[in-house]
Chains A and B, each alone.
Chain A
Amino acid sequence: MEIRAGACHRVVGAARHKARLELLLTMIVVLLSLFVFSILIGGGTLGLGEAFAAIFGWSSPENNMIMNSVRFPRALASLLCGAALGVSGAVLQALFRNPLADPYILGVSAGASLTLALSILLGVTLGWWGAYNPYSLYLSAFVGALAITLLMMIVSGFVRSVTTILVAGIMVGYVAYAVTSIVQALVEIERLRVFTYWILGSFSGARWSILGPGLPVLVACVVGSMLIAKPLDALLLGEDYARSMGMRMRLARLGLVTLSSVSVAMVTTIAGPIGFIGLCAPYIARQTLGTPAHRALLPASALAGAILAMSADLAARLIARPVELPITAVTSLFGGPLVIYLLLRGRSI
């Protein structure tokens, strides 16, 4: 009897494991096809062979230029940013123990935007550093993201209600946006158009000059997150249990907040504040995997985030062609209803 229960468990476990692996592989295939689709579509449509030749610089100079300075970085940026958003959403949801936590809703993206805008203002008008020095941009976005994440953690220490934290986050976001708008008005007028576009969120500005320095960090965040599955799983039972099982709470919290803030800062610098991917990706991952165990959930969230970001970017480019939509306009279309659905259902996922 005892042996049978163990053996039975092992069989069920193996079957589950296989199903999860198949799911992850499917997601990778979908993601790769989206990537190919994304580099093929643009102002002029390239053939498959032409496109791949252009990536390696074997096509016409014009094609090479379009591919290497516009389409390829854009596709790569949307893939990595989506993955980073998915991961940071999953981390924040575990940290706040709230399925509605998301960098956009909690105001983290807005905080990063604010410090970015401040940095640009200072950089341009005071000439302290170049307006678009990628390092100062990344750093200032990180400061803003970190500040808002910590603020929200303090708030969530006082209020336990899931929805109250949500409202507080949205309000913090509004305040940050208000200040950003004021800063924006002060920035030189010719920069304003670009800035307005960026503040709504779009991958159209993804260039190697910005993307390059951030790329390794972004990859490190996504891959590195796979190493934090253990503390995140322990957090599923709440902080007291996590501590009783030997988790060093302060260290873990610091690590998780930093990881999530870095990811959001990167994404916001590259593409502006992007809403709801951090909320939807972990949700989709949990629903399809059927487990909250983070060893499976984190890679699935990253993949789901990348898929969502790439499809949203494609949709933003295609829906009103040749006019491009801001990406949050697309993500809000599915993100908003999901939040309402989760609120109405009112139980943990």
Chain B
Amino acid sequence: MIRALGLASGYDSRPVVRDVNLAVRSGEFVAVIGPNASGKTTLLRTLASLLRPLGGVVYLEGRPLTELKRREIARRVGVVLTESVKPGRLTVFELVALGRYPYTGPLGRLSDNDRAEVMRALRDVGVEHLCDEVFSELSDGQRQKVMIARALAQDPRVLILDEPVTFLDPKARVDILLSLRRICRERHIAVLASMHEIELALRLADRLLVVHNGFVESFDSPEEFVAKSGPEALYGLDGDANFSAVHMTMELRHYPIRQPVFVIAGAGTGALVYRMLSRLGYPIITGVLHRGDIDYSVASLLGARVVSEEPFRPVSREALEEAQEAAGESFAAIYTSPPIGPMNSANQLLAKLLASCGVPLIVYGGGSVDGAWRKTTKLSEVASALEELEQHRPRSGPRQVKPSRQSTAQLNTGAGPMAPRDT
């Protein structure tokens, strides 16, 4: 539908983006991502023929842009730009009707067909009920939808949007992006949208056009891009944030400013606790977690020290001992009441053991452990309990928590198929 060959674009003969080769099919949603000032806007403006290419050719339905008249281009390409529009007291209908510009005669009179197209465009983005409202009195999200409807009224084959959702609230963002994808498929138009919302782009776009340092770095599906550890390299996230391929999301790393806390979790019961601890600045030690457990991936992303076990294997004695040793460095432990089964019954044992060795144990989430220091179902109470402990028990140096003969015996029975379940 739209194709670029060796395209170079920029201002005043200074290229901002070079060697762009791309082809976008009808019905395909392409998200253009890349850091600020990487040349996304310049590239989009050139594709929309608002900027003359410095080199190379843009083809529209197989014909070079330079061979097409402005009016012909306008019937094929619709744009939504970042600049704010101040059309006075123009109504939504009047504004969207401007999109019929390349179809109307010299006087700009709307035919019945033009009116129908305007209503169809309004309906496609779900704002037909606003058609008699004054545009400038709408909310930001509604205004953006109207601007998209205006571009759609041109009945384009290609829709080019520059950061269509950047200043909108999350609902409006999702709303607009989802309707864009639907419209793109229903109307069989090629959509190119630059965006900074990388996590939304990964979930939504058919392909990602990654622009970096003035070049197109990759033009792949989101999954392939992530598989190549794309986002981390793209935004240079060294240490401060991690990108999780499994969750397709960014995690922030907080600087630890407090004493370490040991967490016994599993099966997702620890995810929120980890996040809270990380945000509050507690270094996290956790175990024993099976590799591939959701808690395992969350804790690793947050930079926790994780004592782990092979997937689908009962927790081994070595792992348990390692966990006990690691727990010795913490000033408190949290048990997040994970479901207990044959594979992880050692964790329940570990909790009892820590409690009996004098580590203050906070039980969160409705479980029960003998010798627990505090029991709660509220995260805020977990946080305040930790504060309390921190104030009253200043750091006392690493504590030795030796596996006892008793615990080892229990471990062996606990690994059996009839292991007791925590309730």
Contact = CB atoms under 8 A, between A and B. Distances in A.
Interface of A: 2, 5-6, 8-9, 12-13, 97, 227, 229-230, 233-234, 236-238, 240-241, 243-248, 286, 290-293, 295, 348-349
Contacts of A244: 48, 50, 74, 77-79, 81
A293 B87 CA distance: 9
Given A286-B89, A292-B88, A230 B74 contact: no
B335 interface: no
Q: What 9 pairs between A and B have smallest CB-CB spacing?
A: A246-B74, A230-B108, A292-B88, A246-B102, A245-B101, A246-B71, A236-B87, A5-B128, A244-B79
Given A227-B106, A291-B94, A238 B88 contact: no
Contact of B81 (A233, A240, A247): A240
Nearest to B92: A9
A247 B70 contact: yes
Contacts of A237: 85, 87, 95, 98
A227 B102 contact: no
Interface in B83-100: 83, 85-91, 93-95, 98-99
Contacts of B324: none
Given A236-B88, A247-B70, A230 B83 contact: no
A238 B83 contact: yes
B165 to A, nearest CB: 19
A176 B85 CA distance: 35
B131 A227 contact: no
A131 B307 CA distance: 101
21 contacts: A2-B123, A5-B129, A6-B115, A12-B132, A227-B106, A227-B107, A233-B98, A234-B101, A236-B98, A237-B85, A238-B83, A240-B83, A245-B99, A246-B73, A246-B101, A247-B70, A286-B88, A290-B89, A291-B89, A291-B94, A292-B87
B249 interface: no
Contact of A230 (B70, B106, B119): B106
Given A237-B98, A247-B101, 10 more contacts: A6-B119, A9-B119, A230-B101, A230-B106, A236-B87, A237-B95, A240-B83, A245-B98, A245-B102, A293-B94
Given A245-B101, A246-B70, A292 B89 contact: yes
B377 interface: no
Interface of B: 48, 50, 70-71, 73-75, 77-79, 81, 83, 85-91, 93-95, 98-99, 101-102, 104, 106-108, 115, 119, 122-123, 128-129, 131-132, 136, 154
Contact of B154 (A12, A245, A290): A245
A230 B129 contact: no
Contact of B90 (A230, A247, A293): A293
Contacts of A233: 94, 98, 108
B104 A230 contact: yes
B70 A248 contact: yes
A53 B81 CA distance: 62
A228 to B, nearest CB: 9
A243 B90 contact: no
A229 B105 CA distance: 12
Nearest to A15: B132
Contacts of A8: 132
A243 to B, nearest CB: 6
Contacts of B90: 236, 291-293
Contacts of A246: 70-71, 73-75, 101-102
Contacts of A245: 74, 98-99, 101-102, 154
Contacts of B104: 230
A177 to B, nearest CB: 32
A230 B107 contact: yes
Contacts of A9: 93, 119, 131-132
A233 B108 CA distance: 9
B107 A229 contact: yes
B80 to A, nearest CB: 9
Nearest to A232: B108
A245 B74 CA distance: 5
A2 B93 contact: no
Contact of A349 (B50, B88, B93, B95): B88
Contacts of B95: 237
Contacts of A227: 106-107
Contacts of A295: 107-108
A225 to B, nearest CB: 12
B58 to A, nearest CB: 14
Given A234-B101, A247-B70, A241 B85 contact: yes
Contacts of B70: 243, 246-248
A279 to B, nearest CB: 16
The residue in A8, A241, A295 that gathers the most chain B C-beta atoms within 10 A of its C-beta is: A241
A241 B88 contact: no
A6 B117 CA distance: 11
Nearest to B127: A5
B83 A348 contact: no
Contacts of B123: 2, 5
Nearest to B108: A230
Nearest to B94: A293
B199 to A, nearest CB: 29
The residue in B70, B75, B123 that gathers the most chain A C-beta atoms within 10 A of its C-beta is: B70
